[in-house]
Structure 1
Amino acid sequence: MSTAAAAGGTTSVYDERPWLERYDRGQPHDIHPTFTDALQMFRAAVERSPDSDAVRYFDGRITYRELDEATDAFASALLADGFTRGERVGLFLQNIPQFVIALVGTWKAGGIAVLINPMNRERELELLLTDSGATVLVCLQSLHTDIAASVLPRTSVRTVVTTSELDFQSSDDPRAFASSVRRECPGTTDLLELLDHHRGCHPQAIGFATGDTAFLTYTSGTTGPPKGAMNTHGNVVFGSHVFRQWCDLDADDVVLGVAPLFHITGLIGHLTLAQLLGAPLVLLHRFEPALAIETIRSQRPTFTVGSVTVFIALMNCPEADREALSSLTKIWSGGAPIPPAVVTAFASTFGHYIHNIYGLTETTSATHAVPLSGSAPVDEASGALSVGPPVFNTVVRILDEQGRELPPGEIGEIVTSGPQVVPGYWNKPEESARALPGGRLHTGDVGYMDADGWFYIVDRKKDQINAAGYKVWPREVEDVLYEHDAVREAAVVGVRDPYRGETVKAFVSLRPGTEVSEDELIEFCRRRMAAYKYPRVIEFMAEIPKTASGKVLRRLLRDGTAS
């Protein structure tokens, strides 16, 4: 019973649940009969709704017809410059329309996009460009001036296209662009000039097989050097359909892009999903709570998916009220554990339930999700909020250290197989074979399945704390800390201790206008946890260090390099 697959896997544990009745129970669910690649999804949206908004960016609008023309021009420019099928294009951008143009335009030229975190510095950028062998880089003017220019001579990049976040909207909102200025970037081509020069050009139509790589998404590097997951066109199509059907979305929905587009959640749960639906994608450049609330109030988005830190920030924003977020009725959160206390508080504040969702870069987003009409159970023993059952066509096993399947309730490593799982890592056959033996992804996440088929993530295997022989999972301690009214964010790690080997240390940021002492918080936890679990040390920080996708950078906390 530790194998589970909703509507079409090897168990039937979900067959009687009403939220799965719309699927063919007992049979694999054929969710992409029409599309073999992501480019087909985009072209279908253009054909269905050419004059509908594809992208909304503050007061700017780009229709599907205009986006089709712009991506044709981008692809034509690449091809005129000698670009050949299978070459890689690096995207070093924030959540702006140019990201969408460059991604789809790369596909139209037969290329593979390389998604690069705009927070990366010189060493990290050079590593990704070198590893991917990218020959083209599209980047913000500021990132070219400050980061890329010094790196590019040591890479295979031969063409650089620069752009400004100030483009594609008519009035620069000072809150979104307080530090933005246009910059000269010698030796590069301006994107607007490139599009204008090739306007009206139409590259020869191409197609992809489902196994062709659509983009390389690099793992966050929280436990080691980043690896380029080869997300295929088949992975992308499947992942996009999962969101559409599991979250009950259609062309009347409006997608709010709060997750970074370079991250797998933003790529699938925002960008390609919107194109599958033929719906508008609302972009914010970078997430800023007050501006996001104003945008939600004016654009009336209905759906979003993002890290829990986004929703914590909205909840703590003075501009937030129930009416402002009234349209946002379909909310999912993934990328980092969701404390049950946050879900309860958000629902109390705004009237909307945050549905849990779980997946990885290597699974092209979701493998598990709480259905729209359901709510996640909380395990009484651990306090963990369920990430939901597996989505359709997905098989998930819980394995012990020897690779044996475990029964419900037993904790082990989560191992996943399905149409969303990548074939491997770019140019890393040994690591691919180790992480994906037989096409099954060994996630490195520890969890279990209950008797009803709901899955729970306990923590990362490498984050477990061994305190005097007792095993402590950071998430359980964090969930207790979140119950305190003064705690805004919390992260727990193990640190060296001469007596216990390791001891539990918590890093905490407080809500504005609140105060609590270290001793008070320690006592708060001591009254609610076993003696070996509660934190012995608490350090207060203004902000907990996180990746752009919202994952806590525990290694920085453990080694004392967090600032």
Structure 2
Amino acid sequence: MSDYDDKPWLARYPEGQPAEITPEFTDALALFRASAERSPGNDAIRYFDGRITYAELDALTDAFAAGLLDTGFERGDRVALYLQNVPQFLIGLIGTWKAGGIAVSVNPMNRERELELLLNDSGARVLVCLQSLYRDVASKVLAGTGVRTVLTTSELEYQTRDDPRAFAGSERIELPDTTDLAGMLARFAGRTPPPVSYTADDVAFLTYTSGTTGPPKGAMNTHGNVAFNSQTCREWFGLGPQDAVLGVAPLFHITGLIGHIGLSLLLGAPLVLFHRFEPSLAIDVIREQRPTFTVGSITVFIALMNAPNAEREALESLTKIWSGGAPIPPSTVKAFSAAFGRYIHNIYGLTETTSPSHGVPYQADAPVDDASGALSVGVPVFNTMVRIVGEDGSELPPGEIGEIVTTGPQVVAGYWNKPEETAKAIPGGALHTGDVGYMDEAGWFYIVDRKKDQINAGGYKVWPREVEDVLYEHEAVREAAVVGVPDVYRGETVKAFVSLRPGKTATAEELIAFCKDRMAAYKYPRQVEFLDEIPKTATGKLLRRELRAREQA
């Protein structure tokens, strides 16, 4: 504990919550096995009217592993999971571990070029994908990859009513060139694969960075990373086996992998899935399944507020809510609380930190910085040390803005087959996040923005996040993204892209004036463009790069 004695953020931990925890598991498969042995009859997955217990999931993943091994699959081989939020994702993930393999999570929004890049970079030998994704995308690129086994499945499996709210246009497709996953599981039912064990340093899965700063890189999330941060989530969020986890984040993303899958498997609690996020459907599922916890991007909660069935009592069961992956405007937290009576706790982390490195503790509210209006992302989670460093690498005092550098048991070992990128981003195990922020005197951390997104307007530095937060205070603004665009006089000037709330109106002049009244003259946007939807990644991060590219086209 001596390393933590002079750290001011300890004063912000809930009473009795330590700065350090002792890991219960060093192996992600072991945490699932413990829950399956302890609570075999508990629901592991709820998928519309379908239920899969822990005992059933254990049997299904045994069959998956046995089927893989029958194809010649070997220790360390990779299995790519190209799926939506369906039960088969968990079957494939856990089954891959039981076979001694490494899972590769693939964004189901990826198209041919992106999929081929990830399959080749990871060296995946097996692909598990939805039938429609095979037909429309994967079948066109597999010849150029090392994939030798393709297992296809349908989102219509594991539920019986083919709910039109979620499955409009879905159908089961005959694909003779692939192996039907359900058929394979039936053939190998009752088979038990040979026992397998892992060390904390073994890679559990590869999660590919979003590519907002360049080509995606495969972060090597180890079994130790996964087990530790699953435990961190359980204790930080104040959860137990009586809780139920609502899966609003994509399962392929690190938030879904840890804050949904790892967490629920550790708890021995149900994970509530509903194929893919749609706000009205999500509210219906919450009413029906009564989950108690979720974590997702702030765009999820903005969408819930604007859903036509968003009555106040709709989210009554959700008593514990966290949001990460994208900046949270303080005005949105206030609006959500007013709409549903529920507070959104901030959390912060990266793919390379296996989800959370900071968080607002349970039963605490995040402070808002008076000068910038930024909402704090919290304090470092257990066993985690964070520094703010300047351009020369020196540690900066409270209040000074610099790059966030994180060290802890959740930081990945590196990038798959990219030693130079690893050495640059994670020298000596310290992750240089590329995020700019500061720590206040009380130990709370604040994110200012990504280093690459800073706007230089006539020599003045403007952080897009600050302008976006002001725009969110306007009653008509649903979403906002700010970028720098070329300007003859100033070099760069500030431009805002805005989508409006349903039934609300605003003009560009009105929004410019609104910001001008609340910001320094060099910060407020000189241009405003209205869009139906702001381009984002699948996890809700604003794609400022895409917006800048529009201006240069």
TM-score under structure 1 normalisation?
0.97
Q: Map of 1:365-404 to 2, 5 A cutoff?
A: 365-404=355-394
The match for 2:21 is 29
The match for 2:108 is 118
> Which of 128, 131, 139 is equivalent to 1:138?
128
Alpha carbons of structure 1 residues 324 and 360: separation in structure 2 relative to 1, 3 Å:
same
**Matched position secondary structure for 1:381:** coil
The match for 1:200 is 190
- Superposed displacement of residue 524, structure 1: 0.7
The match for 1:188 is 178
Q: Map of 1:96-245 to 2, 5 A cutoff?
A: 96-245=86-235
Q: Map of 1:395-414 to 2, 5 A cutoff?
A: 395-414=385-404
Q: Map of 1:372-521 to 2, 5 A cutoff?
A: 372-521=362-511
> Which of 7, 13, 19 is equivalent to 1:12?
7
Q: Is the 8 A contact 2:62 2:98 kept in 1?
A: yes
For 1:19, the aligned partner's letter is: P
- Superposed displacement of residue 11, structure 1: 3.0
- Superposed displacement of residue 8, structure 1: 5.9
Cα distance in 1 for partners of 2:340, 2:226 equals 32
Alpha carbons of structure 1 residues 278 and 533: separation in structure 2 relative to 1, 3 Å:
same
Q: Is the 8 A contact 1:235 1:422 kept in 2?
A: yes
- Superposed displacement of residue 205, structure 1: 1.3
Cα distance in 1 for partners of 2:6, 2:71 equals 53
The match for 2:256 is 266
Q: Is the 8 A contact 2:322 2:347 kept in 1?
A: yes
- Number of paired residues? 553
> Which of 520, 529, 533 is equivalent to 1:539?
529
Q: Is the 8 A contact 1:410 1:449 kept in 2?
A: yes
**Matched position secondary structure for 1:494:** strand
Cα distance in 2 for partners of 1:421, 1:318 equals 41
Cα distance in 2 for partners of 1:244, 1:533 equals 41
Cα distance in 2 for partners of 1:146, 1:14 equals 50
Q: Map of 1:309-388 to 2, 5 A cutoff?
A: 309-388=299-378
Cα distance in 2 for partners of 1:449, 1:10 equals 17
For 2:426, the aligned partner's letter is: L
For 1:29, the aligned partner's letter is: I
**Matched position secondary structure for 1:523:** helix
- Superposed displacement of residue 364, structure 1: 0.2
The match for 1:277 is 267
For 2:332, the aligned partner's letter is: V
Q: Is the 8 A contact 1:459 1:473 kept in 2?
A: yes
For 1:9, the aligned partner's letter is: Y
Alpha carbons of structure 1 residues 440 and 10: separation in structure 2 relative to 1, 3 Å:
farther
Cα distance in 2 for partners of 1:18, 1:492 equals 34
Q: Is the 8 A contact 1:545 1:562 kept in 2?
A: no
Alpha carbons of structure 1 residues 479 and 17: separation in structure 2 relative to 1, 3 Å:
closer
- Superposed displacement of residue 407, structure 1: 0.2
Cα distance in 1 for partners of 2:468, 2:6 equals 33
Alpha carbons of structure 1 residues 46 and 7: separation in structure 2 relative to 1, 3 Å:
farther
- Residues 153-189 of structure 1: CA distance to partner in whole angstroms, max 9, x if unpaired? 0000000000000110000111211121211222101
Cα distance in 2 for partners of 1:489, 1:36 equals 40
- Superposed displacement of residue 381, structure 1: 0.7
Cα distance in 1 for partners of 2:551, 2:98 equals 43
- Superposed displacement of residue 248, structure 1: 0.4
Q: Is the 8 A contact 1:8 1:29 kept in 2?
A: no
Cα distance in 1 for partners of 2:90, 2:4 equals 34
Cα distance in 1 for partners of 2:523, 2:218 equals 36
- Superposed displacement of residue 435, structure 1: 0.2
Cα distance in 2 for partners of 1:16, 1:494 equals 39
Q: Is the 8 A contact 2:61 2:91 kept in 1?
A: yes
Find runs of 4+ consecutive structure 1 residues off by over 4 angstroms.
none
- Superposed displacement of residue 16, structure 1: 4.0
- Residues 262-299 of structure 1: CA distance to partner in whole angstroms, max 9, x if unpaired? 00000000001000000000001100111100110111
Q: Is the 8 A contact 1:7 1:392 kept in 2?
A: no
Cα distance in 1 for partners of 2:311, 2:478 equals 18
**Matched position secondary structure for 2:312:** coil
Cα distance in 2 for partners of 1:16, 1:376 equals 14
Cα distance in 1 for partners of 2:61, 2:262 equals 15
Q: Map of 1:75-90 to 2, 5 A cutoff?
A: 75-90=65-80
Percent sequence identity is 70
> Which of 281, 287, 299 is equivalent to 1:297?
287
- Contiguous gaps of at least 5 residues in structure 1: 1-5
The match for 1:3 is none
- Residues 181-204 of structure 1: CA distance to partner in whole angstroms, max 9, x if unpaired? 211222101111010000000001
- Contiguous gaps of at least 5 residues in structure 2: none
For 1:88, the aligned partner's letter is: R
Q: Is the 8 A contact 2:105 2:252 kept in 1?
A: yes
Residues 1:60 and 2:50 are matched in the alignment = yes
- Superposed displacement of residue 213, structure 1: 0.1
Cα distance in 2 for partners of 1:310, 1:7 equals 40
Cα distance in 1 for partners of 2:192, 2:98 equals 10
Cα distance in 2 for partners of 1:11, 1:213 equals 34
Cα distance in 1 for partners of 2:223, 2:510 equals 52
Cα distance in 2 for partners of 1:111, 1:280 equals 25
Cα distance in 2 for partners of 1:485, 1:150 equals 46
Q: Is the 8 A contact 1:9 1:394 kept in 2?
A: no
CA RMSD of aligned residues (A): 1.3
> Which of 243, 246, 262 is equivalent to 1:253?
243
Cα distance in 2 for partners of 1:342, 1:229 equals 31
**Bigger Cα displacement from structure 2, 169-178 vs 306-315:** 169-178
Alpha carbons of structure 1 residues 360 and 143: separation in structure 2 relative to 1, 3 Å:
same
